Structure 1
Amino acid sequence: MGDPALYDTDFYAWTQQQCQALANKAWADLDWSNLQKEVESLGKQEYRELVSRLTVLIGHLLKWEYQPEGRCRSWFLTIREQRRAIRRHLRRSPSLRALAAEALNDGFEGGVDLALRETLLPLRVFPEICPYTFEQVLDPTFLCDTSGDWDDLA
């Protein structure tokens, strides 16, 4: 069995040891307990990335919708960037689509906080539940049309 103590003392060395054991199919040298935890953690990290990107996207969509006088190129580009990044992420991990509704709700909470931090709007202005569907937030023509050219934004 691999050196489980290495997991706690030198994580990088542990990962290299585990990769080598996997490459050599040296099953007895694998630290099965910690490997299982790390693989599970990788899956959770993929979900967290989706929620994080949705948080930024929703926050900017809320700003775009509820503070139209503040619309600017930076908001537009952030919305565009996050939509593309989420679509790429879902292409790499399509099974995350099954968690779309949950991720949208988790991202909405943080999105409201982002909009509150970056505007002078009071909390009561924003809806209590996400007013958008998952499909809408990813649609390049929804609310902020990122399919077109917005060179006129400052």
Structure 2
Amino acid sequence: MSNLEYLQQLYETDDHLWLLETIELLKQRRFDDLDLQNLIEELESLAKRDQHKVKSLLEQIIRHLLLLQFWQEEYDRNKNHWRSEIRSFRVQLKDRLTTNLYNYLSSIFTTVYQDALGYVQEKTGFNVNFPPQCPYSLEQLLDIDYFG
């Protein structure tokens, strides 16, 4: 069995060990021995996972800002909770954000807002008049001190 066949089989049975062996091959610069097909798949999966996480955090920030700014019936009872959630999501997003992920968020900004808008409309029973377009810039959403 060749090293490539071994790695491909290992990927199917013990992906963690496959990862450790792949890292070792990379460190040794043994590029010809790499299981490139599965390595590419793993790297693509990692990129998608990162994109999904930052998208989710941005959507949470928008949701909570909309509730904080526009849901007056619940404002007094929930404002501190919403503000603390916004802060928490911003810190998590800041820790993950790279230039590429920032550009990704910028490219899907309208979609993220529409997803957040749908959520808050359902949560409030469609009894609040939320803006159809995002009232916040991406920079405001990322600013730790901005609350609308």
Q: Secondary structure at the match of 1:125?
A: coil
Percent pairwise identity: 28
The structure whose residues are more often helix, as a share, is: 2
For 1:138 and 1:68, the matched residues in 2 are separated by 23
User: What amino acid maps onto 1:94 in structure 2?
Assistant: T
Report how far residue 82 of structure 1 moved. 1.3
Q: What TM-score, normalized by structure 1, do the two folds share?
A: 0.77
2:109 aligned with 1:86, yes or no? Answer: no
Q: What TM-score, normalized by structure 2, do the two folds share?
A: 0.79
User: What amino acid maps onto 2:58 in structure 1?
Assistant: L
After superposition, residues 124-143 of structure 1 pair within 5 angstroms as: 125-143=129-147
User: What amino acid maps onto 2:85 in structure 1?
Assistant: T
**For residue 19 of structure 1, what is the aligned residue in structure 2?**
23
Structure 1 stretches of 4+ moved >6 Å: none
Aligned length: 141
After superposition, residues 65-80 of structure 1 pair within 5 angstroms as: 65-71=69-75, 72=78, 73-80=80-87
Cα RMSD (Å) of the superposition?
A: 2.2
Q: How has the CA–CA distance of structure 1 residues 5 and 105 changed in structure 2, closer, same or farther, with 3 Å as cutoff?
A: farther
**For residue 115 of structure 2, what is the aligned residue in structure 1?**
110
Structure 1 unmatched runs, 5+: 145-154
**For residue 13 of structure 2, what is the aligned residue in structure 1?**
9
Q: Deviations over 1:4-42 (max 9, x none)?
A: 122223222221221222222222321011111211222
